[in-house]
Structure 1
């Protein structure tokens, strides 16, 4: 059985010194590099300066070291938050297994270069749609709680709180004090943003800072902060600097305020102005209602003055007279018709009386009937001798007995 290659099996491990030496040799082959970042820590020793260089766009940092004189002779004073370019060589210290960057040259990042980088970032965020006005969220008319991110005991905090309190005394704030310049600004502001955005009682968030130099306002043009503002579901107001200042977070926020005082005026209404508006609306509403009532009264008066409503029985009276005339005419026509028909009935009755059997009997005629069956005699053959007869005359009837026809009696 062949022996395993060193470091490839638990039976033949490498000692710590072998691993540390190989790592040191590998890192040593990287050569020198130029690196850019932001100083977050600076410690000066007797002959050496130790620093921490942070990436402003990510939560990453490196330890760097250099001769003390290099810091003292730097082109700009090196303090926490300074943006610098460094030229150095990566080193791995085998004694304690630490990594560091040994610096040989330090340059300050010029303002022009910073502004150019901000402009490139602005174009990138604009291309991604983070500045699109259609994505801007509307501010609530009267927020329950206002989230305020600002420096501790700063003039910006005083301006926002005092002006908002004067405009709406019942205003309520949830204040998060953070660094507003230097290397800790971005992580602290991002953490405060996330905390306030997750609070259901917070209806709007204000990021406020007073004026300052371009370098002081650089954290508010940081890509991480801009993207965090864009991700917020709560409306965000950016009140960074004064009117001429325009960091990138102003473009990403839902509303840009020229100053912290302007932000306070935008975030809550003016109670006095709203009360005056309500009073004016009540007055205008009352006047409009009174005008409507007067207009309706005039309309009712016009309707009541019309003849049909002024004398509602006039039409009925006119119709009643017409009906009375029609009734009189109908009565007259009926009377005349009854008279004509009565006269005609009289004539018919007279004719009937003339033609009837009673009138004939009155002229001397008689009606002869057999007593047995009441048949009227029409021929002599109907009354043979011995037939009982009933003779009806005009004033009554008599009975008789037939002796037969005259021819039979001869």
Structure 2
């Protein structure tokens, strides 16, 4: 049996596992075919065959019992493993009625298995139905993406891009938001929207966020040193914010990961700000509040991202230790032409003022928007008007030569190397 690039190549006649083995994964059949067999009275009884587009080996994962039968290759085949963690991650988020149905089906099949008659030797696997084929294709795409993400972490293909956050009243640089990008060897630069959902569905987001935390510890000292070149136009309390998810908050060692990074890098906790979306907060308000309280107690800032789009309860919001509200760009872009959106922005600004937190307007693309928000009392702004997300060398150059007047309708000057 040969394992190459996450695919298992199983030659005809080779046994993958025997009945009674402990199951640690299931398998998608990409090509070839396998036989399901039991050893009875010294002979091998073939109970069935499976072909391309089918999955097998899932029962031992779903009910945590040993393998009910053995598997061998009926013809040379290529299999894609589906790990136990990948299955359990999805099972945990399934509807409880669906989980009950799966458990019942498996229990009934295990009861019937000893009474099954051997399959006829000439019987061929039935082709999957259109629905099953569509599900298989979707599963294969998801697994392929997950394997690619795992390799991306191992091969250091991720990078942090930085987008400026500006003090609107003065034009001074207040901080950056760190946004992850994937330098895929085949697709080029990949934006988060194209891979973060897959990372969340598979649970790999936790490892990716851990990488982000380590990377921030590596790059932030250089950003703060670059900012010392422009003390008149960069705020001394320069910060970098980064995004976290509900899965990140659920892991008990996240404050420890951040604390360890701060210890290694010598950074002050105030230089970091966590961003979490409104909808994510509402998945588990009590759990999120507890996790964020630990981070806030350590000195980190806490920002609610995309505020106004997540249908959150204000009673929940009042219990969270937040320091910042980020107004979603969906309200900023039409604000000048749509009085209703303008009133929504004004309402959020009043709310931020009432609960004593800083407001950040996202998606500012022009001087008129920046000036209107300044007049409304919005503290900070972020958007293409101040700069697109940029790689680290450009961010260092921008911090070292920040022009506080550039946001007033004049595009920022092109970034220049620090050595220039």
- TM-score by length of structure 1 reads 0.28
Q: Decide which structure has the larger Cα Rg and report it.
A: 1
**Higher RCO (CA < 8 A, seq sep 6+):** 2
